[in-house]
């Protein structure tokens, strides 16, 4: 149990409870280093989910907080998973709480991430708004409100994470509700302001609130504030052990990998990044002085590996103390993923270190075979402008918007790649300046005064 966060292969493991039963952990659902581990497994052949509190000194308090929230939900007949066991393991090292596993259920986060259209998920989001309105009318407040805290099966919405649930002395006021709903709506990403406004309007009607224009200004101010704080927190997570991420630490390499993408072949490559470039099965996509790009297959999954080369000793000295281009691309790709902007799935990055000095680095992403072309732009100009608008809403500009840097994913949506030169802005003035420059570069993909040039130029004129 001690080294579970170091090696994912420690799953499965078995833990004995004080009552003599054993739980067999089969899958990690969530990891918070030195705090808690959430696993799915079995106990007496029953499917269960267990939350194991790893801090021995604080475990009892965390357990009390969890039970306080669960009791509050049960008291008001709000669906929540059935309690199976509450106590400690046999050696008293860990406190834990076990629930019966609700099988064939889906988290709201999975539903939202896999949506094909907003219309398709609107009934589900309206049902969530009703659930939140009910809880808020009871004075129940989820302090850490996010999409994974809702589990849905057969139109029943289950509320999870009792430790983050509190009780207000009265129903939530309009101001408190704006803060809570702003937190929830911020989880839906950027570029869908009209949809977020519609969901809040539905919530306000359920609560009997009259809505004014200033309410929506306050709502989007809350959403913006929560988006900023969420990214600051998530930015730390993508560079440490977490539910979705695992650090790579070798003698002369370090980096991060998506825990869910790990496979024997990918794990082998992480120990020897150069091996892929001499693999006979790799396909060379680009061979330049500054970077080399290949396509390769690991365990029947296609990946793109981009190696950021060091051209000479002067180039090495300039980059030795800076963030590597692979780390930069990993960070911005994860930000887009957090904001639900389509992106070639980031898999891993590695950078060489020598006495703290950085040199060659590698970035791995999922392979997308289809490149954007003028026919796609003509058929779906609104998808291109929506992508660039969402990018700007994340305070990011792309410095090389040539057609080959726009791919098409399985949902026929445009996806940007090649973020090593992209910029993240803290100033709106700099964002607007670089956005104009990016648009100017994008328009070079078309003949001046052509039909497509005119279509996009007219679209972009509305932005400024």
190-223 confidence digits (pLDDT tens): 999 999 999 999 999 999 999 999 999 999 999 9
119-133 confidence digits (pLDDT tens): 999 999 999 999 999
CATH architecture of 245-366: 2-Layer Sandwich (3.30)
CA–CA distances in Å: residue 88 to residues 85, 95, 100, 161? 9, 4, 17, 19
367-385 confidence digits (pLDDT tens): 999 999 999 999 999 999 9
pLDDT above 50 (res 157): yes
Confidence label for 464 from pLDDT (cuts 50, 70 and 90) = low
The dotted CATH code for 107-237 is 1.10.510
pLDDT at 33: 83
Least confident among 8-17, 75-84, 310-319, 439-448: 8-17
CB 79 within 8 A of CB 158: yes
Nearest to 230 by CA among 290, 189, 179: 189
CATH code 1.10.510.10 region(s) in the chain: 370-461
Distance of CA 353 to the CA centre of its chain: 28
Distance of alpha carbon 373 from alpha carbon 392, whole angstroms? 22
pLDDT at 251: 85
In the chain, the percentage of residues whose pLDDT exceeds 70 is 98
CATH code 3.30.200.20 region(s) in the chain: 8-100
Distance of alpha carbon 346 from alpha carbon 253, whole angstroms? 18
pLDDT above 60 (res 179): yes
Map 122-138 to HEC letters.
Answer: HHHHHHHHHHHHHHHHC
3-state SS class at 438: helix
CATH architecture of 370-461: Orthogonal Bundle (1.10)
Strand positions, DSSP E, 272-315: 283-287, 291-298, 301-308
441-458 confidence digits (pLDDT tens): 999 999 998 999 999 999
User: H-helix or E-strand containing 245?
Assistant: strand 245-249
215-262 confidence digits (pLDDT tens): 999 999 999 999 999 999 999 999 999 999 999 998 889 999 999 999
Least confident among 3-17, 173-187, 360-374: 3-17
Average pLDDT, integer, range 408-422: 92
pLDDT above 90 (res 61): yes
Max Cα distance, the chain (Å): 78
Average pLDDT, integer, range 280-286: 93
pLDDT at 181: 97
CATH architecture of 8-100: 2-Layer Sandwich (3.30)
pLDDT above 50 (res 2): no
pLDDT above 60 (res 8): no
Give the residue carrying structure tokens 């066991």: 85
CB 323 within 8 A of CB 306: no
**What is the DSSP track for 1-27?**
-TTTTT-GGG-SEEEEBTTS-EEEEEE
pLDDT at 454: 94
Average pLDDT, integer, range 60-80: 94
In the chain, the percentage of residues whose pLDDT exceeds 90 is 84
Average pLDDT, integer, range 382-401: 94
Distance of alpha carbon 132 from alpha carbon 140, whole angstroms? 9
């Amino acid at each position: 149990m001690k080294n579970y966060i170091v090696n994912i292969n420690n799953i499965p493991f078995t833990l004995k409870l004080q009552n003599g039963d054993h739980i067999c952990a089969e899958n990690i659902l969530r990891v918070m280093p030195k705090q808690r581990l959430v696993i799915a497994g079995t106990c007496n052949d029953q499917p269960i989910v267990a939350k194991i509190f790893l801090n021995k000194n604080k475990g009892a308090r965390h357990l009390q907080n969890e039970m306080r929230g669960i009791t509050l939900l049960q008291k008001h007949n709000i669906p929540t998973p059935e309690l199976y066991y509450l106590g400690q393991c046999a050696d008293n090292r860990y406190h834990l709480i076990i629930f019966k596993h609700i099988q064939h259920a889906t988290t709201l986060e999975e539903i939202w991430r896999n949506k094909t259209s907003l219309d398709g998920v609107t009934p589900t989001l309206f049902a969530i708004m009703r659930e939140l309105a009910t809880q808020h009318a009871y004075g129940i407040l989820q302090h850490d409100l996010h999409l994974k805290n809702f589990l849905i099966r057969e139109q029943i919405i289950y509320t999870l994470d009792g430790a983050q649930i509190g009780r207000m002395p009265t129903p939530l006021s309009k101001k408190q509700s704006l803060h809570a709903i702003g937190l929830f709506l911020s989880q839906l990403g950027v570029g869908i302001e009209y949809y977020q406004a519609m969901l809040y309007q539905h919530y306000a009607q359920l609560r009997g609130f009259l809505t004014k224009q200033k309410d929506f200004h306050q709502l989007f101010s809350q959403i913006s504030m929560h988006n900023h704080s969420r990214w600051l927190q998530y930015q730390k997570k993508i560079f440490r052990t977490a539910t979705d991420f695992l650090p790579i630490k070798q003698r002369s390499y370090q980096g991060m990998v998506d825990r869910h993408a790990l496979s024997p072949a990918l794990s082998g490559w992480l120990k020897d990044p150069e091996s892929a470039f001499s693999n006979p099965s790799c396909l060379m996509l680009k061979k330049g002085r500054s970077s080399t790009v290949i396509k390769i297959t690991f365990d029947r999954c296609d990946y793109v590996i981009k190696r950021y080369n060091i051209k000479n000793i002067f180039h090495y000295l300039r980059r030795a103390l800076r963030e590597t281009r692979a780390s930069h691309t990993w960070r911005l790709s994860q930000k887009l993923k957090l904001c639900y902007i389509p992106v070639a799935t980031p898999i891993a990055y590695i950078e060489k270190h020598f006495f703290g000095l950085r040199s060659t680095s590698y970035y791995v992403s999922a392979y997308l075979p289809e490149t954007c072309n003028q026919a796609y732009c003509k058929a779906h100009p609104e998808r291109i402008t929506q992508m660039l608008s969402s990018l700007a809403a994340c305070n990011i500009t792309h410095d090389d918007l040539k057609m080959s840097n726009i791919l098409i994913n399985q949902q026929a949506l445009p996806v940007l790649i090649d973020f090593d030169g992209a910029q993240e802005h803290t100033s709106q003035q700099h964002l607007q300046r670089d956005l104009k420059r990016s648009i100017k570069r994008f328009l070079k993909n078309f003949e001046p005064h052509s039909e497509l040039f005119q279509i996009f130029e007219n679209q972009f004129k509305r932005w400024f």
